[in-house]
Amino acid sequence: MIIETNTPQETFCVGKKIGENARPGQIYTLTGDLGVGKTVFTQGVAAGLGITEPISSPTFTIIQEYETGRLPLYHFDVYRIGDIEEMEEIGYDDYFFGQGICLIEWANLIEEILPENLIQITIEKDLEKGFDYRRITVTGNEVNSK
Ligand code: ADP
Ligand code: MG
């Protein structure tokens, strides 16, 4: 599925729809360059789950947990991870195989521990289509089997 947006608000709304429809245990990976809109998208997902706290990038913590919505949201940003053991130290499998929603920025850095059932979200710019244009591609086993 490909969705095109032209404003941050539209990207937020795409995330919000996904948050509204998210089911327990789903894992979403979020790929795209710095400044492409991964955090904007995540803020939408959080809103769709009914989370009212502010969402920021968990750049210094690997994971940020939000428990006030319809389902728990586990927002990972593994950009600064040094080695996979850091994921083991935080007990990642409790999150990956729990009842909340995992949203993982820079998931390619932890490929070896990712489960097979993922929903992959890729956000890309295309400057020929405008500075604020974004193409959001959603793929994955779960999406295809619906
Ligand atoms: P990332 O988390 O991927 O590094 P952010 O979400 O923090 O990126 O920032 C994205 C920036 O791009 C914001 O300043 C946002 O206002 C801007 N922006 C412009 N157009 C869009 C769009 N269509 N979708 C999302 N963000 C957009
Ligand atoms: Mg970010």
Q: What is the pLDDT of residues 31-85, one digit of tens each?
A: 999 899 999 999 999 999 999 888 887 667 889 999 999 999 999 998 888 889 9
Which domains occur in the chain, in start order? 2-144 (3.40.50.300)
Cβ 7 under 6 angstroms from ligand 1: yes
Residues 6+ apart with CB under 8 A from 10: none
Q: What is the rounded distance in angstroms from the CA atom of residue 142 to the CA atom of residue 140?
A: 6
How remote is the CA of residue 128 from the centroid of ligand 2, in Å?
23
Q: What is the rounded distance in angstroms from the CA atom of residue 116 to the CA atom of residue 4?
A: 26
Find how far residue 78's CA is from the centre of its chain: 12
- For ligand 2, an ion, list residues with CB under 5 A: 38-39, 57
Q: 87-123 pLDDT, tens per residue? A: 999 999 999 999 999 999 989 899 999 998 999 999 9
Residues 6+ apart with CB under 8 A from 142: 26, 117, 118, 119
ipTM, interface predicted TM-score of the complex: 0.98
Cβ 38 under 6 angstroms from ligand 1: yes
Global confidence as pTM: 0.91
